[in-house]
Structure 1
Amino acid sequence: MSGYDYSVAILGSGIAGSTLANILARHGHSVVLVDSGTHPRFALGESTIGETTYLLKLLAERFDVPELGHVSSFAGVRSHVTSACGVKRNFGFVYQRDGLVQDPEEVTQCSVSEFPNGPEMHMHRQDIDSYLFYTAVRYGAEPRQRTKVERVDFTADAATLTTSTGETIRVRYVVDASGRNSVLASAFGLREEPCRFRTSSRTLFTHMVGVLPFDDVTTPSGQPTRWHQGTLHHIFDGGWLWVIPFDNHRHATNPLCSVGLNLDTKRFPRQPGRSAEQEWADFLDRFPSVARQFAEARPAWDWVATGRTQYSSTHTVGDRWAMMSHAAGAIDALFSRGMANTMQVIYAFVPTLMTALADDDFSAERFRHIDTLNQTVLAVNDKLVHGSYVSFRDFDLWRAWSKVWFMSWNLGIARIVGTHFSYLETGDHKLFDQLLDSPFPGTFCPDLPEFQPLFESLSAVMVDVEEGRLSPAAAVDRLAHLLGGAPFLPAPLQLGDVLRRWHDGSFEAQRRMYEWGRTSAPPSMRRWYAYDLDNLLARTGGAPEPVSL
């Protein structure tokens, strides 16, 4: 490596940068991991979904980095990392109306299956990120904490970083995982103004102590699992509130709860001179049932108030550089897709980067598929979240639109879980590349051509509602027609029944999806159901009893 200090510089040592550093260093590549801050530190993006955890499992298996497997399950985190994380058995959505006590009939919930490695979790990110950072260092990554990069210069044969102390670091390739304040986005003027996404929201957030379980302050709704055992969303016309407890199981050691209020900037623009604490107090005054949950709560950190959450970039790769997903852009924390998107990009990026390191070709064209993936992931998430904000104006419309989320979640995870299970069954490493072989990368159903216009049509319904061309009631009917009339969608999901309140994510529901995939799914999707579920159950001791927490 004559003439270079390192092969790869990774800017940002959060979960994206440290995951990537673990993989590269584990395979013998020289890596410098540069960050203006230190660990441990506060970080958001705490609620996992199946795509997050199963992509971590695949990354661990594909690149022989067991530490990524350790952070892919609630049990693994407790055994290897920290006792500070919460459990996640459901996605809960509770509809709130201004000035009214919450109606227990106006709720929806999606249970989360525990088979075979569940439940999902609420990551205490300062512990998870620190663990991955230090394991990357153990594998050989060179840490540079409290190091600010002032400039990055590119030539035909190298990239040179200049730090605030005047030090220069010469590398073969630069990966920007530094998030919103991306070094490369600033250097190349990549941010789009205005941001192109339809979603336009802002956030107030902190960690709190003393947050009461919502189950203890409200009338029971008959939902499958307790609200406190999952990620709770209080939704209302114009926004939503996340409640992510870390103290929601009997082995909990962390008294904190993550809290974040997300507001449509068109409906609730930020008022100059009004503090985040005042906005929070005003919000509680509007919704008495939410106020009851927070009657004893106190912030453990100062409230943070953001400007518009969304940002976008004109392009995300270049000669000798690439941006990971949160440096490329962002939408909104709704549906907890941030970490899943990050791992999806890393999974596609690493094989290309390793090949480039082997043959010394770091051209932008070689990494063009990463730009396509980054931009597509952001675009489809924007449509899903924008439709949700529109749907929050009417509970029935929300119930209908939530089936679009439920569909996207199930179709998106099937191919990742199927790859994982098939690999466990066969040990065939070629399966890892199969996951990248699809005509529509970055979409919620990358294998299915007919899904793409359906998703566009569903999104267009919500644009029509927003722009006054369609009433919420008419939109519910339209969504029911589109979802119920698509023969290629999974029958077990019952998507045409748009007013159903409970979304079944149980093991039994997953088995029905598996049988559909084996017998009735479109041919392009059946490869994801090629594993033998009964054999898998026998090897793992059968479908587990619910974990006592």
Structure 2
Amino acid sequence: MTNRYQVCILGSGFAGSILAWILARHGVNVVVVDRIVHPRFAIGESSTPLADFLLRQIAEQWELPELDELSSWGQWRRKHPELRCGLKRGFSYFQHKAHTEFSDDPQHSHSYLVAASASDESSDTHWHRADVDAWLLKQARDAGAGVLEGCQVTSIEKTGNQWNLQLAPTNDRESQQPPTPRSLQCEFVVDASGPGGVLGSQLGLSRLDDSLLTRTGSIFGHFQNVSSMAEQLPSALRLDDPFPSDAAAQHHLLPDCSRDSNDQIGHQPQSGWIWMLRMQDDITSVGLTVPMGILHGLTRPAAGRYFDDVVARYPTVHKLLNQAHLIAPTGTSGMAQLGFVPRISRLWAAAAGDGWCMLPSTVGVIDPLHSTGIAHGLSGVYRAGQLLLMQFGDAGLGTSSSTASDLWKQYSQDVVREVHWIDEIVHLCYRALDISFDAFVSVSSLYFIAAVHSERNLISQLETGHSGSISDGFWLINNSQLRSIAAELGGQLSRVTADGDTEALTSWVRNAIAPWNDFGLLETGNQNRVHRSQTKA
């Protein structure tokens, strides 16, 4: 294996592997370096209509028909039955009360379902990342990308236009793999290492974590034998559901997740939630997300005990998990042990520079609420793929260095701004969750408006030949009217906290989003059931 490349990608998650596949397919000399060997456990598993559209667009633009086969549940199951996934028809939310069995009424005062697709065939999916990431890396390798698994980058230095990376094998490296080269050289480095942040750490980039409003942590794992939430409900209360509530990114909203009376820190909410993503082979991804102050000082074993305590506090959630057993991830002993991230949100100050870039999941992450991760990651692959092929592909032979520099600068600014925008939306939802379920439903409308219209705008611009950008930006970040609504929502939530008038908040949000709301959010009489938020059929 050579040790000289045009592009080196650090990290072989789905985004890094797809980018390597694109570049290799189009003649770029690219290598992927990862300290861990596939298959491996990962979360960030729930796709959305925007994510699936980006998969289709990447596949079409760069001649990757196999990638398109993962863009909907129907063709995924026909073409790749060996890759485990889950059916995601939309988003379902259930508001629980501590020490009380979940119950609902005909108006669905304690549940909320938002459709994201009209049929199972066109549905979104939950990705079993151990399967999917390994398969994507294999596609990159088969297309001609170099792959170095079980290799740790010990130093990165730039001399002139060349990067020099020093490497060392990790304990994960398998003995039958080729020897790890001590170094490699490249012209461009892409950091797709996620929370590893290899490049940012080596370059001494600034962190903006303290500027982020959302500050939560998660305890998570894959379980088998998780019971059905839908079966906990009377059939009469499921008749008007737009899809089975288990075939969704299922959210169990928990108003009290405190550890003890000393948990209250500043104005951070004590509410939390549990996600459940059901996949094949009776696997369910389950994770508890709470304000990070609650998790302060916990070790990984103690976090597992806290997880059990919270589950026991909510009888219906406990019933769902009572017979379940944890199968992944594993701890240091090799036995299954819940994963633990004390703080999720993080952000680097820049996403690109002279001869380097980071993909969005490395630049910054906020929180799993609303499933923004896969779509944001794919948006970065789409943009970075275009820029790298301009520089290193056949079509980029005439691209000047000044033009490339300006484009990467814009990419950097856009991605950092997008992380801040996601942070603003998610933080507002957490503030609302701490007030009431009705407040949460109302404020969540901001996300659904941004997601649906972002996809519509992207489709419109691509159909008219304006690929690579959206005038209103991802999640309508450049739409001043929607940004103003988000800014005003903070004041509205403060007033509700003071006077308890949730109906006034709902009315205000309904009127504010009216110019975009052609799919029934907060519609009077819809009983918290939204049947038509999807763009695709």
With normalisation by structure 2, the TM-score equals: 0.84
Please state how far the C-alpha of 1:11 moved relative to its aligned partner.
0.3
* 1:391 matches 2:395: no
Which residue of 2 is the match for residue 537 of structure 1?
none
Q: Distance in 1 between matches of 2:299 and 2:67?
A: 43
Please state how far the C-alpha of 1:193 moved relative to its aligned partner.
6.2
Q: Residue deviations 1:497-545, cap 9 Å, x none?
A: 59951122367xx59xxxxxxxxxxxxxxxxxxxxxxxxxxxxxxx6xx
Match of 2:452 among 407, 410, 421: 410
* 1:318 matches 2:360: no
Which residue of 1 is the match for residue 422 of structure 2?
381
Q: How does 1:12-411 map to 2 (within 5 A)?
A: 12-81=11-80, 82-104=82-104, 105=108, 106-114=110-118, 118-164=122-168, 167-192=182-207, 194-220=209-235, 221-222=237-238, 223-237=241-255, 238-247=271-280, 254-267=281-294, 269-271=296-298, 275-301=302-328, 302-357=337-392, 358=397, 359=399, 361=401, 364-393=405-434, 394-411=436-453
Q: Distance in 1 between matches of 2:96 and 2:509?
A: 28
Q: Which SS does the other structure have where 2:15 is aligned? A: helix
Q: How does 1:531-546 map to 2 (within 5 A)?
A: none
Q: Given residue 79 of structure 2, which amino acid in structure 1 is its aligned partner? A: H
Q: Given residue 198 of structure 2, which amino acid in structure 1 is its aligned partner? A: V
Check 1:479–1:139 CA distance in 2 against 1; reply closer, same or farther (3 A cut): same
Q: Is the 8 A contact 2:249 2:275 kept in 1?
A: yes
Please state how far the C-alpha of 1:293 moved relative to its aligned partner.
0.8
Q: Given residue 400 of structure 1, which amino acid in structure 2 is its aligned partner? A: S
Q: Distance in 2 between matches of 1:498 and 1:379?
A: 34
Q: Is the 8 A contact 2:94 2:112 kept in 1?
A: yes
Question: Unaligned stretches of 5+ in structure 2?
Answer: 170-180, 256-270, 329-336
Q: Distance in 2 between matches of 1:408 and 1:382?
A: 13
Check 1:447–1:167 CA distance in 2 against 1; reply closer, same or farther (3 A cut): same
Q: Distance in 1 between matches of 2:505 and 2:521?
A: 16
Check 1:60–1:117 CA distance in 2 against 1; reply closer, same or farther (3 A cut): farther
Please state how far the C-alpha of 1:457 moved relative to its aligned partner.
2.1
Q: Is the 8 A contact 1:62 1:432 kept in 2?
A: no
Which residue of 2 is the match for residue 521 of structure 1?
none
Q: Distance in 2 between matches of 1:470 and 1:270?
A: 30
Please state how far the C-alpha of 1:16 moved relative to its aligned partner.
0.7
Please state how far the C-alpha of 1:273 moved relative to its aligned partner.
8.0
Q: Is the 8 A contact 2:454 2:473 kept in 1?
A: no
Q: Given residue 90 of structure 2, which amino acid in structure 1 is its aligned partner? A: N
Q: Which SS does the other structure have where 1:46 is aligned? A: coil
Which residue of 1 is the match for residue 267 of structure 2?
none
Q: Is the 8 A contact 1:396 1:499 kept in 2?
A: no
Q: Which SS does the other structure have where 1:34 is aligned? A: strand
Please state how far the C-alpha of 1:256 moved relative to its aligned partner.
1.1
Please state how far the C-alpha of 1:271 moved relative to its aligned partner.
3.6
Q: Is the 8 A contact 2:439 2:505 kept in 1?
A: no
Q: Distance in 2 between matches of 1:473 and 1:375?
A: 35
Q: Given residue 140 of structure 1, which amino acid in structure 2 is its aligned partner? A: G
Number of matched pairs: 487
Q: Is the 8 A contact 2:39 2:131 kept in 1?
A: yes
Q: Which SS does the other structure have where 2:293 is aligned? A: coil
With normalisation by structure 1, the TM-score equals: 0.82
Check 1:272–1:23 CA distance in 2 against 1; reply closer, same or farther (3 A cut): closer
Structure 1 range deviating more: 476-485 or 304-313: 476-485
Q: Distance in 2 between matches of 1:325 and 1:232?
A: 25
Please state how far the C-alpha of 1:160 moved relative to its aligned partner.
1.1
Question: Unaligned stretches of 5+ in structure 1?
Answer: 248-253, 423-427, 512-542, 544-549
Check 1:486–1:325 CA distance in 2 against 1; reply closer, same or farther (3 A cut): closer
Please state how far the C-alpha of 1:192 moved relative to its aligned partner.
2.0
Please state how far the C-alpha of 1:268 moved relative to its aligned partner.
5.2
Q: Given residue 75 of structure 1, which amino acid in structure 2 is its aligned partner? A: G
Q: Distance in 2 between matches of 1:485 and 1:441?
A: 20
Q: Residue deviations 1:228-270, cap 9 Å, x none?
A: 22221101221110011114xxxxxx12111111011235545
Check 1:101–1:471 CA distance in 2 against 1; reply closer, same or farther (3 A cut): farther
Q: Distance in 2 between matches of 1:162 and 1:472?
A: 60
Structure 1 range deviating more: 391-400 or 470-479: 470-479
Q: Distance in 2 between matches of 1:459 and 1:499?
A: 26
Q: Distance in 2 between matches of 1:194 and 1:325?
A: 15
Please state how far the C-alpha of 1:373 moved relative to its aligned partner.
1.9
Q: Distance in 2 between matches of 1:351 and 1:291?
A: 48
Q: Distance in 1 between matches of 2:499 and 2:440?
A: 9
- When the two chains are superposed, the root-mean-square deviation of aligned CA atoms in Å is 2.6
Q: Residue deviations 1:401-445, cap 9 Å, x none?
A: 12222222221221234456x4xxxxx7x3434xx142x434x22
Q: Is the 8 A contact 1:148 1:163 kept in 2?
A: yes
Please state how far the C-alpha of 1:75 moved relative to its aligned partner.
2.4
Q: Distance in 2 between matches of 1:188 and 1:280?
A: 37
Which residue of 1 is the match for residue 268 of structure 2?
none
Q: Is the 8 A contact 1:484 1:496 kept in 2?
A: no
Equivalent pairs: percent with the same residue? 24
Please state how far the C-alpha of 1:77 moved relative to its aligned partner.
2.1
Which residue of 2 is the match for residue 457 of structure 1?
488
Q: Distance in 2 between matches of 1:486 and 1:185?
A: 38
Q: Distance in 2 between matches of 1:26 and 1:356?
A: 15
Check 1:356–1:476 CA distance in 2 against 1; reply closer, same or farther (3 A cut): farther
Check 1:472–1:341 CA distance in 2 against 1; reply closer, same or farther (3 A cut): farther
Check 1:273–1:404 CA distance in 2 against 1; reply closer, same or farther (3 A cut): closer
Please state how far the C-alpha of 1:395 moved relative to its aligned partner.
1.4
Q: Given residue 333 of structure 1, which amino acid in structure 2 is its aligned partner? A: P
Structure 1 range deviating more: 262-271 or 103-112: 262-271
Structure 1 range deviating more: 449-458 or 183-192: 449-458
Q: Given residue 387 of structure 2, which amino acid in structure 1 is its aligned partner? A: T
